[in-house]
Structure 1
Amino acid sequence: MPFLEPFQSAIRSFKSLLKQQFAVLVDAKNNKITVPTTFEPRNQGIRGVWIPSTDCKVLTSKQRIADAMDFLADTGFNTVFPVVWNRGFTAYPSQIMREQFGVEIDSRYQGRDPLAELIVEANRVGLKVIPWFEYGFVSSYNLNGGHLLAKKPEWAARDCSGNLLKKNNFEWMNSLDAEVQDFLLGLMLEVAKNYPVNGVQGDDRIALPVEGGYDEKTVKRYREECGREPPQHCKERHWLHWRADIITEFVARLHRELKAINPDLLLSMSPSPYEWGLVEYLQDSQAWVDKKLVDMLHPQFYRRDFKAYKQLVDRLIGEQIRSEQVHCVSPGILLANRGSNYSMTPELLLQVIACNRSRGIQGEVMFFYEGLRDNGNALAEVLKNGPYAR
């Protein structure tokens, strides 16, 4: 009836607004409105924060975990990324680590399960949990491979001189080796199977420094598949892309096996900015997005001035991803760096978030928790009273 048209039009507009702004689902046929129970990054922007175990005490007690979850929920965050794998140890009791290395959990957490404790407290205040496998394929930091390579020296990555691959004091396992890949994949799937999490996350160490790949097994494989010897120049185009493709195949397998456990589980990755990450660490994050191997991408846009940050965002949106891919991107933002005594200013934090929104990027992940607590919680207050206000 004609006189009803204005009302019908208003209802249609209201439903459209709900879909866009409040992530509700509208069933037009049955005229029903329902709230989704799964966590869809395209429907709500990620407001995330990394919780490390270095320079951060959150995981050291149940009370600190509870206090941190209260603080983050009150500030307006919706997702936490707690570290569960670094320096060759897990922050949860791992059967894989016990069987292969005789060490079930990081000694700092003996008798506890920090991951389980955090999940309980995060769920209590409505936060999603995506465990963060910080060290990826790194075995140790300045420990000559640490206990992992002491037990399994055949897992070591090698440079063109045959030396243990070391870059910026990090020593690497061979990311191109099937056994090493099975090991890390096993850890990530172990968490996905045994804990009520929303996904798992790898970062800039789901990778291999470009100087690597010269171990005997990888050289033999390259010779068999390509009919030639690996070049001494580690950035030779064919050699570089051949190795990067093996990393991409690992990401594809991780995505496939994670979804086999539960299709709602998210694969979150936080690589170095493209294409620097490709030529330095064999991370072809562009291919990961193009092939739909990741649900969320958090490129580490760790810049300390607005112009440099904006350049990365402009390049990402203007050159690297298509408009329909923007929904999966939530850049990593550097709040603090203890090594250089850096602390982001409130003004810069507001600028970079405004830049994200202006380019259609609806979320970001902050590195790291303690940066929110610096200077009397200055950055947390800016978020709570500004872009993260409820």
Structure 2
Amino acid sequence: MISLKLKRRLLPLLLIFSFGLAIALQSPSLAQTTPTVTELRGVWLTNIDSDVLFSRWNVTRSIRRLAAMNFNTLYPTVWNWGYTLYPSRVAQQVIGRSLDPTPGLQGRDMLREVVDRGHQRNMAVIPWFEFGFMAPADSDLAKRHPTWITSRRDGTQIVMEGTHPRVWLNPFLPDVQQTMLAFIREIVTNYDIDGIQFDDHFGLPAELGYDAYTIGLYRQETGRTAPANFQDAAWTRWRADKITQFMSQVFFAIKAVKPDCIVSVSPNPQQFSYSAYLADWQRWERAGYIEELIVQVYRDSLTNFAAELDRPEVRAAQTHIPTAVGILAGLRNRDVPIAQIRSQVQAARDRRLAGVSFFFYETLGQRDRDFRFMFPTAARRPTLSS
């Protein structure tokens, strides 16, 4: 039995302990322990059909919300519509504008805000070069550098993306390559990012590549004339290998500035990427130029979705780098049912993939409770060694 006197002495101590425990439980900085689960939980933040990047308040609110849903990775777009979404000296020199002219981006550095607020919430920030070598046909970039644009065999350059006319910078042209490398070095040097991401827009639509520079280079290196059939196997392989060589330059340029900055790639499935965009990401991955792979598998059918996850090139990548799947959460005019999202997340987990990333923030909708159900606790991001 504890005496009344001892009880009186212990009571203040018990009250102090209880109060401290309550504060600790309410304070993430004190209550959080190292997560025991390892899973990539990402989301793309884009300026297309989304307002998430167009004010400091939107950035702060959205990152707070995502952290509460136990996401751990942000992929903000930094290169879209022929402009950078961060203040860029390179863009000022090349395009004549240092920043996308959209009003909501003026007078601020969106990327620095995302990095700062993301890191405050223990989230990785990996900027995404969404447009790659693509640009709007009427962009300042295309107008200032018409010789950088590649073409079809008949000389036409426009490639429609939905209702939008696009052109493509020639990925084989040294000036284009050096400009892209300058953008990449600028970001890696100036921002405390955790990685940088590309997709198959760092390839080229297969019908393009018939500009004078490229067909001259093909003749010089192979002794052959560029074939009329853009799907010719040798012509396809030669162009794809040239793009692989450029990805090698990208990889080593990043590592020369910041060795621990991971190179992430989020392409379509391999067969489509190679045949449609000359982006042979399987070869990039085998060569060691990819340190995180997120295959965008936007399928409504669970059977078709799962079949892409079971592809041998995905299985092979999974054995030595974090390999995840990109899941469509919705489009501007169409929400993907949450039941479909749940089943796709489970399919990724069943195959022991590294995790998932959702395209895109705005289409998560008002479904916070559903995502917290899928991600009930915090998780560590997978690494090359985990």
Residue 160 of structure 1 aligns to which amino acid in structure 2? Answer: R
What residue number does 1:21 align with? none
Q: Is the 8 A contact 1:301 1:333 kept in 2?
A: yes
How many residue pairs end up in the alignment? 339
What's 1:342 paired with? Answer: 334
So what's the TM-score if we normalise by structure 1?
0.83
Instruction: Note the aligned Cα RMSD (angstroms).
Output: 1.7
Inter-CA distance 248–96: structure 2 relative to 1 (3 Å threshold): same
Preserved CA contact (<8 Å) 1:327 1:361:
no
CA distance in 1, matches of 2:265, 2:313: 20
Partner of 1:361: 353
1:209, CA displacement in angstroms?
A: 0.3
Residues 80/388 of structure 1: CA separation in 2 closer, same or farther (3 Å cut): farther
Correspondence for 2:62 among 68, 75, 78: 68
Considering only CA atoms, is the larger Rg found in Structure 1 or Structure 2?
2
Check conservation: 2:318, 2:353, Cα contact below 8 A: no
**Is this contact kept in 2: 1:201–1:269, CA < 8 A?**
yes
**1:102 alignment partner, SS class:** coil
For the structure 1 residues 217 and 145, does the alpha-carbon distance in structure 2 shift closer, same or farther, using more than 3 Å as the test? farther
**Structure 2 letter corresponding to 1:389:** T
Taking the TM superposition and a 5 Å limit, the aligned residue runs for 1:233-244 are 233-244=229-240
Is the CA contact (8 Å cut-off) linking 1:255 and 1:293 kept in structure 2? yes
Structure 1 residues 123 and 91 mapped into 2: Cα distance closer, same or farther (>3 Å)?
Answer: same
Q: Relative CO higher for 1 or 2, CA cutoff 8 Å, sep ≥ 6? A: 2
- 1:110-169 Cα distance to aligned partner (Å, 9 max, x none): 2111111111111111111001111110011xxx35211210111001101111141433
1:89 paired to 2:83: yes
1:342 and 1:308, CA in 2 relative to 1: closer, same or farther beyond 3 A? farther
Q: Where do residues 205-284 of structure 1 align in structure 2 (5 Å cutoff)?
A: 205-284=201-280
1:255-276 deviation line (CA, Å, top 9, x unaligned): 1111111211011111111111
1:323–1:158 Cα change, 3 Å: closer
Report SS of the residue matched to 1:299: strand
2:240/2:279 contact within 8 Å kept = yes
Residue 77 of structure 1 aligns with which residue? 71
Residues 43 and 358, structure 2, Cα contact 8 Å, conserved in 1: yes
Q: Look up the SS of the partner of 2:53 in the other structure.
A: helix
Structure 2 matches for 1:194-209, cutoff 5 A?
A: 194-209=190-205
The SS at the match of 2:156 is: coil
Q: Pairwise mapping of residues 165-180 of structure 1 onto structure 2 (< 5 A)?
A: 165-168=158-161, 169-180=165-176
Secondary structure of the structure 2 residue equivalent to 1:360: coil
1:305 deviates by 2.4
List per-residue Cα deviations over 1:35-63 (Å, max 9, x = no partner): 89xxxxxx942111000011111111111
TM-superposed deviation, 1:330: 1.1
Q: Distance in 2 between matches of 1:124 and 1:371?
A: 24
Query: For structure 1, which segment, 318-327 or 270-279, has the greater mean C-alpha deviation from structure 2 after superposition?
Result: 318-327
SS in 2 for 1:208: coil
Are 2:373 and 1:385 aligned?
yes
Which moved further from structure 2: 253-262 or 225-234? 253-262
Contact (CA 8 Å) 1:133, 1:188: kept in 2 or not? no
Q: Which stretch of structure 1 is more off in the superposition, 345-354 or 79-88?
A: 345-354
Q: Following the alignment from structure 2 to structure 1, what is the Cα–Cα distance between the partners of residues 320 and 280? A: 17
Partners of 2:142 and 2:318 in 1: how far apart?
42
Contact 2:133 2:169 in 1 (8 A): yes
Identical counterparts, % of pairs:
32
- Cα offset, 1:325, TM superposition: 3.0
C-alpha separation between the residues in 1 aligned to 2:95 and 2:83?
10
| Structure 1 partner of 2:144 | 151
Task: Note if contact 2:44-2:359 (Cα within 8 Å) is conserved in structure 1.
Answer: yes
- Are 1:326 and 1:361, in contact at CA under 8 Å, matched by a contact in 2? no
- Structure 1 segments unaligned to the other structure (5+ residues): 1-34, 37-42
Provide the secondary structure at the position in 1 that maps to 2:308.
helix
Q: Which structure 2 residues correspond to residues 103-142 of structure 1 after superposition, within 5 A?
A: 103-108=97-102, 109-140=105-136
**TM-score where L is the length of structure 2:** 0.84
Instruction: Quote the offset at 1:321 in angstroms.
Output: 3.7
